[in-house]
Amino acid sequence: MSAASAVARPRLDPASFPSMGPGQLRPGRDNDAIDGLVPQAVITARETAHVVATIEEARAKKLAVVPSGGGTLLHVGAVPRAYDIRLSMTAIGNIVEENPEDMTVTCQAGVSLSRLQRSLAKQGQRLAIDAAREDRASIGGIVAANATGGLRHGFGLPRDLVLGATAIDGCGREIVAGGRVVKNVAGYDLVRLFAGSWGGLAILTELTLRTHPLPAAAATLVFEFVSASELDAARSRLAGAQLSLSAIDFTVDTTEAMPLWILVVRIEGTEEEVGWQGDAVCALVGRQPADAAEEWESPAHVDDGHGTSVRVAAAPQDIVGVVRDVCAKWKQSAASQGGQAAIRIAGHLGAGIARFHLAGAEAGEADTASAALITATAVGGLVRGRVIERAPAQLKALYDVWGPPPASIGLMRAIKRRFDPDDVLSPGRYVGGL
Ligand SMILES: Cc1cc2nc3c(=O)[nH]c(=O)nc-3n(C[C@@H](O)[C@H](O)[C@H](O)COP(=O)(O)OP(=O)(O)OC[C@H]3O[C@@H](n4cnc5c(N)ncnc54)[C@H](O)[C@@H]3O)c2cc1C
């Protein structure tokens, strides 16, 4: 049991929510837990007034609220200082307005990415975000986590696609930032602040995002290499080329005795553009693809919902070398020698990001293997950043899961105090214990 759960918490009183209907408030269960902490209650907001009522009750009773969308990313973050209410946003999930001429869409935070994509596709458009588990991942969660897949290479992060947001802060105040049109920039910085704030500053209720046309043609080309240096040479040639690629991802198949280093390139555009860019990629890489498909799924979605996941950031020109070094350290560690644990590795070459996912460790071996992976990925040398995205709670409590706080931590604290002075929203989960 963690320190947070050992301390007696103030109790939530269900009678404080007279406006909520049946089924909207239930006791927390084991599968609502974050890092072993089970919330007192799960509240499903059906309208913004329920979000405000929850925050006001939490403020009055000094309770902690963690907002959730599809719940696919709630494992990311430091062990919460407290977790009394899980506030589900999935029932606030309407598509408010599609504006194909302006290339924008306004939707409520709880809508799933796949539902939004299906609707936009009818207008020949899409959101250029390829998050994992699109059927569950909500737009609010994706923006709050600033999370995407390989398409970040061609289209940027969710933060770059959000034009406007409505949110409820830790005082229950509604904040409207940005707007519904591309040219409206008032409040834009606030929008960028909320993107990636991990539910710690405000609860997003509505978002306006920039859309892109669905490409007329597309190809995913897969190239295999027997060494890291061959993959890195291909990466370097692609990085220097005047091409407009949507994604340059990689994965390493460590289940082979001689690991295969795999490059996955996504090309989108007109038939003609996809044709000539495909030829150019093959010429730069120096071979024909081992596989080619029209569909796309970022290979970087390696976390299967269990085990330990660590995300490492380096300069793009260093990322393959970093992965090779981590693999070598991992191989030397006792954990990899006796046990059955295998790591899956994948990432985004253009962004310098690699994810190491340790799955399949036997109970008892798991902590040793996880600790060995955490040690092998420590910040220093070419490793510029490391986030322990998923790990057993007892290990998360030992490490700074976000890495050392940045120089701007003083400013971050001031911003947190401004939006959430009573520490109601996701306390302790973010960088520097915010
Ligand atoms: C297996 C797996 C692999 C993944 N791989 C990648 C990857 O390779 N690259 C990548 O970039 N991303 C990756 N992701 C992340 C991405 O796809 C997430 O699923 C998505 O961003 C989270 O959406 P969600 O609705 O499940 O949010 P949740 O998990 O419910 O919430 C995510 C965070 O946002 C907060 N939050 C939720 N809703 C709101 C709201 N309305 N307002 C304010 N805060 C809110 C939560 O408190 C939490 O901190 C991966 C996820 C999974 C599960």
73 CA: nearest ligand 1 atom: 29
Band the pLDDT of 7: cuts 50, 70, 90. low
Candidate from 187-191, 363-367, 401-405 with smallest mean pLDDT: 363-367
Output the CA 385–ligand 1 centroid distance in Å: 19
Beta carbon of 116 within 6 Å of any ligand 1 atom: no
**Which of 407, 180, 147, 82 lies closest to 303 in space, CA to CA?**
147
Q: Considering only CA atoms, which residue is closest to atom 21 of ligand 1? A: 142
Measured in Å, residue 138 CA sits from the centre of ligand 1 at: 8
Token pair 């990925």 is found at 377
Q: What is the pLDDT of residues 241-292, one digit of tens each?
A: 999 999 999 999 776 778 899 999 999 999 999 999 999 999 999 999 999 9
- What's the CA gap between 434 and 342, in Å, rounded? 33
Kind and range of the H or E element at 168? strand 162-169
Read off the DSSP letter of residue 254: T
Provide the pLDDT confidence category of residue 365 given band limits of 50, 70 and 90.
Answer: low
Average pLDDT over residues 33-58: 95
**Percent of the chain residues topping a pLDDT of 90:** 73
Most confident by average pLDDT, 64-68, 187-191, 293-297, 369-373: 64-68
pTM to 2 decimal places = 0.88
The rounded Å distance from CA 281 to ligand 1 centre is: 32
The span from the CA of 201 to the CA of 140, in Å, is 13
Of 47, 52, 68, 348, the one to substitute when testing ligand 1's pocket (max ligand atoms within 8 A of C-beta) is 68
pLDDT of 2: 44
- Report how far ligand 1's centroid is from the alpha carbon of 237 (Å): 33
Contact yes or no for 59/12 (Cβ under 8 A): no
Q: How far apart are CA 302 and CA 357, in angstroms?
A: 6
Q: With both helix axes pointing from N to C terminus, report the angle between 228-239 and 271-285 in degrees, rounded to the nearest 10.
A: 130
